[in-house]
Amino acid sequence: MRLIFLGPPGAGKGTQAKRLTDKFGIPQLSTGDMLRAAVSAGTEIGKRAKAVMDAGGLVSDDIVNQIVSERIASADCSKGFILDGYPRTVPQAKALAENMAAMNLRLDAVIELKVDEEALIRRIESRVAETLAAGGTVRSDDNPESFRKRLAEYREKTAPLSAYYSEQGELVVLDGMADVDAVTRSIETALEKASA
Ligand code: AMP
């Protein structure tokens, strides 16, 4: 099973992707997590990405394409993977298609979680409050200013992917505003249809 989750920041892609990894035994590939790990480890990529990420901008296509192409060739991706936060631009989607074609792989579905922006801002505020209440540290880009920038980047650069995947007949659009379990159920139903 090879899936892409599309949707703005805070739409629940990560939460839903995690649930599917348990069900299908395939890894969740979050480019955000991979980039944050590179920043923490102080690698060359991390150093180049940090300022852009903190400001809520997008890291260059070359960097993320490289990271993902290496990652999907790993042994633990042999049964499939769930991409969460990638692709985020049409050139990234094209690079992914080329990489997958070269590896003789095909996508099973692209799932877009639709949400409204006001609700997203409330979600991000409660995510920050819950993390702080649990004694955790919040992401350096989880502040209102960076979050608005991330939403603007989504609208401008990532939203066009809906049309791109819809033209290829791969897009499934689901209501991401429903409660978490209901969203999981609708994803499972959509995947059953996609594989039927
Ligand atoms: P996320 O955890 O998916 O919200 O990603 C956090 C940040 O990492 C984003 O705001 C971007 O700065 C960067 N990032 C993650 N994935 C990508 C991607 N596919 N292309 C460009 N930048 C990305």
pLDDT digits (tens, 9 = 90+) for 121-141: 887 888 888 989 999 988 888
CATH of 2-195, one of 1.10.390.10, 2.60.200.20, 1.10.4190.10, 3.40.50.300: 3.40.50.300
- Read off the tokens for 50: 């940090």
Sheet holding 28-30, edge to edge: 28-30, 81-84, 2-6, 109-114, 171-175
Position 195 pLDDT exceeds 80 = no
The pTM (predicted TM-score) of the whole model is 0.92
Question: What secondary structure letter does DSSP report for 167?
Answer: H
Higher pLDDT, 146 or 195: 146
Active site residue 88: yes
Count of C-beta atoms within a 10 Å radius of residue 78: 11
Ligand 1 pocket check for 53: Cβ under 6 Å: yes
pLDDT digits (tens, 9 = 90+) for 136-192: 988 888 887 888 899 999 999 999 999 999 999 899 999 999 999 999 999 999 999
Active site residue 23: no
Query: Taking a C-beta distance cutoff of 8 angstroms, is the pair 108, 3 a contact?
Result: yes
Angstrom distance (rounded) from CA 63 to CA 136:
29
pLDDT digits (tens, 9 = 90+) for 4-19: 999 999 899 999 999 9
Query: What pLDDT shows up at residue 122?
Result: 85
